[in-house]
Every structure is written in structure tokens, then in C-alpha cells.
Copies of this chain bind each other. A is one copy, B any other.
């Protein structure tokens, strides 16, 4: 059976002040009135029902997750006692699923992405699922790039240039590349066989557990004791030890880059990883949520934009007025306000670091 494993452990400090330690990005209503994690579950409709969606998140977000996703059964919310990286998260989901259904296939998805063309996304996932089930391969999704982005990792594959491919197809992966500099990114784009690494994976639970055993024996050893107690009173205690003993490593570095039998399905379905407020603005423009001057006001909140253009405004109860402003992000919350040049959106992370370092924990 197919299951989704949605990774929702992130903090998303680049979405400050909307995102906080207690209310991170995946739980935000970034587009319209449903949250990113709600959208992630909803877009699997027709492929994987909520009853077969598992959410892996930090303990502190379990209640919030349950409230936002009432259709997902409580036992499908997997609580991480400590935030590690993606390899422990996937090992935890892997042992849980393998124990519940020895024939389980996992579609591993980040909780905070946006996808424009859901049908195209399903088509790609179906090809990936078939490959993972029939050949017991590790499969990942690669996004056909439309510009030389430096903010993503890249995947090189062995096959025709992606713009010559009509039907979703699984191709062998040649290499994984870290986030490149600008020149390298341009070379990647020109080559025609580099894709953006989406962080989405498809594999059988037993396949990934075998691969973890082979490439990350410490992680295997840490999580193997959990398997026997899944769903029992002992799980919490063993889990804590497992997370403490497991290496802190991403599944990309720990398994994907070390394994030889990896496939990628190139896809083009309006993907956006919504990495910062600039990406939120861009995605809104993509969705035609902007006015004649290119301004986007979140959720039709009260805002007055006078001689202003290409701005993004997200407010709460307060009336926001912009006069003579351009390319500016304004995010207003109860206790904190951000006014940011759209091109500096990545630096919001530094604001949060500053707040941490200067005893402004109440605002983090």
C-alpha cells in the first residue's frame, strides 16, 4: 500500500514575524485560508487518502498538527522527541510503516511546498511509485529548472534533456550536487540534464531501511529497537534514545549520495519551495493574486496602497497604509512588525538570529 510521509519538523525563521518557534511555516496560511501542511495533505487527494498520511513533526507541534489535520488519524502523527535531520526522521517513519504494513511504499514529502499543477504532480508520483514498487529502487523527484537558481541542490541524471521528455519517466541518477555558485548554476542549466533537488522521495519502507542499514549503520542500530514497540507504551522511551544515538545527517548525504541504485523522475508542475517572503510574493503573482500595480495583499486584509507597487502586505487586525513604497514586504503581527526590501528577504533569518542572541526570545 502507498503511504505519504510528510516531514513537518521545520522552524522556518525566514518567515518571521509570522513564523515563530511555536508556530512555524508549515502551519501558516501563506496562500488563502488553508495552511501549507493542509495543502500538502489535500493535494494527495485521489492518490493517497488522509488515513494513509503520516506526519513526522517535533513533539511540540503534535497538537497543532492534529488540530489542522483532523482527517489524519492520531496514530499517524509521529512525534520526534528532538529535532535531528531528515535521516532519523525517515528511519522513524520507515520502522513504523514497515511494522504496520510489510508491503508499504512511502512517498516522502516536505510539508511546506507549493505545487501549481496537481495532476502533473500525481502523474510524476505514479511513475515514481511504480519504479519504487516494481524494482525496489530509491526514487526521487527532480524539478525541471527554469532559471539558474543558487538556492537549491541539483540532480544530474542519465537520459535525454528534460525538455525532450514528454511522459514522466524514471532515469538513473548520475550525481547529486550541492547548492552551486552562480556560474556553476548556469552551466547546470545549459547542460539540460540537471534538475533541482525537490527533497521528495519514493521508496518501499523495507528498501529504505535496508539502505539505511547499509549506509548509516549507526542510524539503523539506533532505530531497530523501536520497531518491536511501535504503538506501545514503550515507544516513547526507545524513540528518545534512538534520536539521541542516531547521527544527525540528511537522507541526501547519508543515503542518496552513497547509494548506487537511485532513480529520478523529472517533473514540471509549478513547484515552489516557498523559501522566504520573496517566494511568497512571487508565488502569489504566479497565482494572479496581484493587483494592477503588482501589489499582493494577503487574504484581502485591510490595506491601502497609495503610489505603491510590487509590494506584499500581510497584516492582522491593523489597517496598513503604504505610501510611495515599491518592492517592499510588510508583515504585521500582534507583537512584531517586519518591513523588508523584497530582495533582502533571505536576511530575515539574520533578524531572528539577532533576536536569539540579544534576549528578545519573546519575539522568536
Interface residues of A (CB under 8 A from B): 16-17, 302, 304, 306-307, 315, 317-325, 328, 330, 332, 334-341, 343-345, 347-348, 350-351, 354-355, 360, 363
Contact = CB atoms under 8 A, between A and B. Distances in A.
A319 B336 contact: yes
Contact of A319 (B319, B340, B360): B360
Given A304-B354, A351-B304, A354-B304, A340 B320 contact: no
A318 B341 contact: no
Contacts of A348: 321, 323
Contacts of A360: 302, 319
B321 A17 contact: yes
Contacts of A337: 315, 318-321, 330, 332, 337
Contacts of A335: 317-319
Given A318-B336, A328-B339, A323 B304 contact: no
A307 B335 CA distance: 22
Nearest to A335: B318
A328 B332 CA distance: 16
Nearest to A302: B360
Given A307-B347, A335-B318, A340 B354 contact: no
Given A304-B354, A337-B332, A354-B304, A347 B318 contact: no
Contacts of A336: 318-321
Contacts of A345: 323
A201 to B, nearest CB: 34
Contacts of A322: 338-340
B355 A304 contact: yes
A16 B339 CA distance: 18
B341 A324 contact: yes
Contacts of A343: 324
A298 to B, nearest CB: 14
Contacts of A321: 16-17, 336-340, 348, 351
Nearest to A333: B318
Contacts of A318: 334-337
The 7 closest A-B pairs by CB, nearest first: A324-B344, A324-B341, A323-B340, A319-B336, A320-B337, A321-B351, A323-B344
Contacts of A315: 337
B347 A323 contact: yes
A17 B302 CA distance: 15
A339 B319 contact: no
A362 to B, nearest CB: 9
A184 B290 CA distance: 43
